[in-house]
Structure 1
Amino acid sequence: MPSEPRIVIVGAGIGGLAAAIHLAAAGRPVLVLERAAVPGGKVATAAVGGVAVDTGPAVLALRPVFEALFEAGGGSLAAELALDPLPVLGRHLWPDGRRLDLMADPAAAEEAIGDFAGPSAARGFRDFVARAARVYRALEGPFLTVQRPGMLALGARVGPALRGTSPFGTMWDALGEHFADPRLRQVFGRMAAYVGSSPLQAPATLLLVAHVEMSGLQVVRGGMVRLAQALAARAAACGADIRYGAPVAELLVRGGRIAGLRLADGQAVAAEQVVLNADPAGLPAGAFGRAAAAAVPALPASRRSFSAFGWAMAGRAEGPDLPRQAVFHPADAAAEYAALARGRMPAVPTVTLWAQGRLAPAAPPEGAEPLLALVAAPARGDTQKLDPAPPRAAMQAALAGAGVTLRAAAEVVATPQDHAARAPGTGGALYGAAVQGWQSIFHRPAARTALPGLFLAGGATHPGAGIAMAALSGRLAAAAVMGEKP
């Protein structure tokens, strides 16, 4: 094999770019291989009818994570990206006509919740916010930002801090301790869906997602792809070599250790260490060759996170002035999550509509605006197709029931089958392992694998799903690479 940099990163998603920045800034020779023509991975944009529509993560959370990442690469987030705070985290609507705007400002959110469901609900929200903050603080240092500790070690470190927060209960039950109104349980239970899980099965510790959201969400001017572009530029400035249009077909192993990889065009690339920024389910599925298939255990289908149907549209959302995110809830959330758990599409799903040209509630702009509608779906398998027609009809009915009419001049549809084809072994799951039960945090692979020299990064690995967690996974992967003794 020809001589190449010692460290190769497969995939220029957020986790891979974060690993590249940390490694290159430390003076390590780094080569990043990306199969697409642009960086970003799931942070992607589709050209729909001449309009750019973000098809992946819609907003940036945990800004300090990215500030630290840019600083690690000798740059500045504020200097390299233009960000706008999101004043309304989301509008929530129900079939009976009720509506709640969840504000980013905690005091304004408390007032809105009090107007929606009464003084006791406002007090419940205040206590809920404090509880979510305690959970986040308890887990941030001992778990989220370090190599994954064992169950006993983690319990010893965070147990006292979680006392009184019911960490072994479900998220749904924990929400019931704060909100008697089932609609408010739907609002905050949706935060489990942000990581592809059901609040009926997710542990109460997942309340930390509420703290992340209430800490503020940022909109990237120019679209989320600008984040990926800025990180790629920062990695290159640190000395990383990034090559696009370079799909990896096989990981090569020699003497029980990673030795390099082979590209789809047959070219062999030598490497003493490889960081795989892809869903680790592809390894046991053979997507990276037989030699590396045992590097991580296979994820049982029962533990897969949700998949989704997505409609990226260029058009107009007409009706009530909409904020950037609007969530159309069914009357019965339990029925929806029960259907998904059985591998079926719910008859009446939750629909999330992103009007990406808006920040606060506003009328549709002149001309076509970028729109993205999402409906959760089960991750059933690579060969089991789900018909997109019923969920699309359900999506349109939910919006119409709230007085919103979609007029799409052009659209691009992504189905669970599409997601499964792009990530073999996942069955279409978008977030790796679902967060089900208090032990589920140990189901997600850590940076180190059973194959010496092979490391993992990305939203399907520790510490979890989402672009901020993916960035942290890249940092952890870089630290594991630099700490390995070949």
Structure 2
Amino acid sequence: MAGSPGKVVVIGAGMGGLSAAIRLAHAGLEVEVVDRAPVPGGKMRTFDSDAGPVDAGPTVMTLRPVFEELFDSVGARLSDYVTLHREEVLARHWWPDGSTLDLFASREQSADAVGRFAGTRAEKEFRAFCRRSERLFHAFDAPMMRAAEPSQGALTRHVATHPWLALDMAPHRSLAQALGKAFSDRRLAQLFGRYATYVGGSPFQSPALLSLIWHAEEQGVWRVEGGMHRLARALEQLAHDKGVRFTFGHRATRVEIQQGAAAAVHLDSGARLPADVVVFNGDPAALAAGLLGEGLRETVAPDAVRPRSLSAYVWSYAAEPHGPEMVHHNVFFCDDAHAEFDPIARGEMPEDPTLYICAQDRGIGRSPEGLERFEIIMNGPPAADGADPTDEEKETCRTRTFQTLARFGLTFDPRPGVQALTTPRQFAKLFPASDGSLYGRSPHGLTAALKRPTARTRVAGLYLAGGGTHPGAGIPMATLSGRHAAEAILTDRASPSTSPRTAMRGGMSTA
């Protein structure tokens, strides 16, 4: 197969699948993308509302260069496909004691705001935290996030040659413990602890290393004109421009294996799509569950997909808000983070949740009147039982969500009904074998990131992409996973070997 024209079937039109499809088509391969949904985007979903499509998935676009690099690599420009607006206010934060804090795309502005919020000592602590977060981000960006197949040995050697990293990583502390040491004001420790939820973890169980996520956000947050789903549509259009074909509304039922290699993808319509290469852009747990063929159960190691990360209760609706002035990204904190994460650890809905609100129609200089579009996210546990959500569960969530916001003086007219809610159990049905987890494998534990599956699998011609694979959750990371998959495919196809390249213990790899 080396050097021959190739047919690629990508299962799933999420950010990872679209990214891989674009790169492979640009390299001259014949690419077809299939997805059970009627539109691209994966978890980047929308709902209809009286004010237009409202986001029901990811809301934050960070690491813009990742997307620019994708478009640049195939001779296109991101700005020709989607309009982005940089948000000067990264997020507005609210606490039950009535205090508020804005963080900005400028470190100096943020530090000044922290000083006014909590005093001179807090400002100094914040500056020190920013420097540490920046060092960690740059130290692990290349050898971890952008590396196709990071290894524990390579990272250990990297830390050994940069001994200051050991102190910054605080390897024996959780993120919550490290932040408790870093900040004398517990509100700031609570604020930066929420970044663990960006990758589906609890700050009490996630490693302190995750403090590097703050630097990713500090570099800039962008609002996508028309909503986040426009970004998925932009990638779809670029893929079309490169000759990629799409089949929506049909589910892949099996990856056919012949002589130990992927040979075709079967759809629920009865169609058989021959393929030299298959890219699976779904939760890798679906392979372990045998949902694409019993022969693929051993493709993914059990500890590559378990334990599962957090899920969420997500509201998407249009209403007229009354109360405090919101910006595009808003966080309403509970009084004690344990009241949020301890019930989640028990598999229960948070008793006193922290609520994130994306005011989709707000941004720099934008404060519309009348109906606006909102997405509210409340963290929740994964749901492995496969049951439908009960009316009681939905009403309990509705009560806790909007009573919590009412305590901050925020109300909505009309208050949305439960039809605007997606629960963890509903996510479990939308994304097979996910247990409702929105971020794949849990980030809990210092080496959790190294346990995620990488692009290559044990089956020749079968590759992985998406938020459940390396380098992890979030739209920049999922997009990078598509790059890793495409590069692995093109490298393997150029090799005269009849066996797929395989990572081996000791840091070596076969030809």
TM range (shorter): over 0.9
**Partners of 2:160 and 2:89 in 1: CA distance:** 34
Q: Which runs of structure 2 are paired with 1:9-158 in the superposition (5 Å)?
A: 9-49=10-50, 51-158=52-159
Aligned partner of 1:483: which letter?
T
**Partners of 2:301 and 2:168 in 1: CA distance:** 32
| Residues 433/6 of structure 1: CA separation in 2 closer, same or farther (3 Å cut) | same
SS of alignment partner, residue 199 of structure 1: coil
Number of the residue aligned with 1:371: 374
Contact 1:55 1:372 in 2 (8 A): yes
Counterpart of 2:452 (choices 431, 444, 448) is 444
| Residues 185/360 of structure 1: CA separation in 2 closer, same or farther (3 Å cut) | farther
CA drift of 1:152 comes to 1.3
Aligned partner of 2:488: which letter?
A
**Partners of 2:282 and 2:241 in 1: CA distance:** 24
SS of alignment partner, residue 198 of structure 1: coil
SS of alignment partner, residue 168 of structure 2: coil
Number of the residue aligned with 1:163: 166
SS of alignment partner, residue 297 of structure 2: coil
Indicate whether 1:403 and 2:409 are aligned.
yes
Unaligned runs of at least 5 residues, structure 1: none
CA drift of 1:409 comes to 6.5
Q: Which runs of structure 2 are paired with 1:269-418 in the superposition (5 Å)?
A: 269-298=273-302, 303-360=307-364, 363=367, 365-384=368-387, 385=389, 387-408=393-414, 412-418=420-426
Number of the residue aligned with 2:487: 479
CA drift of 1:476 comes to 0.1
**CA-to-aligned-CA distance 1:282-320 (integer Å, 9 cap, x gap):** 111222121222211235996211111111111122111
**Partners of 1:317 and 1:337 in 2: CA distance:** 28
Q: Which runs of structure 2 are paired with 1:178-193 in the superposition (5 Å)?
A: 178-193=182-197
Contact 2:51 2:371 in 1 (8 A): no
SS of alignment partner, residue 164 of structure 1: helix
CA drift of 1:31 comes to 1.5
Aligned partner of 2:319: which letter?
G
The ranges of structure 1 where at least 4 consecutive aligned residues each deviate by more than 6 angstroms after the TM superposition are none
CA drift of 1:340 comes to 1.2
CA drift of 1:360 comes to 4.3
Indicate whether 1:421 and 2:429 are aligned.
yes
**Partners of 2:361 and 2:295 in 1: CA distance:** 47
CA drift of 1:424 comes to 2.1
**Partners of 1:309 and 1:398 in 2: CA distance:** 14
CA drift of 1:334 comes to 2.3
Q: Which runs of structure 2 are paired with 1:182-221 in the superposition (5 Å)?
A: 182-221=186-225
SS of alignment partner, residue 177 of structure 1: helix
Number of the residue aligned with 2:508: none
Contact 1:323 1:361 in 2 (8 A): no
CA drift of 1:232 comes to 1.3
**Partners of 2:160 and 2:445 in 1: CA distance:** 16
More divergent stretch after superposition (324-333 vs 238-247):
238-247
Counterpart of 2:477 (choices 469, 476, 481) is 469
**CA-to-aligned-CA distance 1:244-288 (integer Å, 9 cap, x gap):** 223211111112221111001111111121010111111112221
How many residues are aligned here?
A: 482
**Partners of 1:77 and 1:408 in 2: CA distance:** 37
**CA-to-aligned-CA distance 1:391-442 (integer Å, 9 cap, x gap):** 2211112211111112236552101111101122221100001111111112
**Partners of 2:305 and 2:142 in 1: CA distance:** 31
More divergent stretch after superposition (81-90 vs 354-363):
354-363
Contact 1:325 1:353 in 2 (8 A): yes
CA drift of 1:148 comes to 2.3
Counterpart of 1:260 (choices 247, 259, 264) is 264
**Partners of 1:36 and 1:81 in 2: CA distance:** 22
**Partners of 2:283 and 2:372 in 1: CA distance:** 32
**Partners of 1:474 and 1:434 in 2: CA distance:** 20
TM-score by length of 1: 0.95
SS of alignment partner, residue 259 of structure 1: strand
Contact 1:139 1:158 in 2 (8 A): no
Aligned partner of 2:183: which letter?
F
SS of alignment partner, residue 483 of structure 1: helix
| Residues 434/211 of structure 1: CA separation in 2 closer, same or farther (3 Å cut) | same
CA drift of 1:163 comes to 3.3
Contact 2:31 2:243 in 1 (8 A): yes
| Residues 300/244 of structure 1: CA separation in 2 closer, same or farther (3 Å cut) | closer
Contact 1:321 1:361 in 2 (8 A): no
CA drift of 1:337 comes to 1.4
**Partners of 2:212 and 2:187 in 1: CA distance:** 20
Aligned partner of 2:70: which letter?
L
**Partners of 1:462 and 1:400 in 2: CA distance:** 40
TM-score by length of 2: 0.91
Contact 2:207 2:444 in 1 (8 A): yes
Q: Which runs of structure 2 are paired with 1:239-258 in the superposition (5 Å)?
A: 239-258=243-262
CA drift of 1:329 comes to 0.9
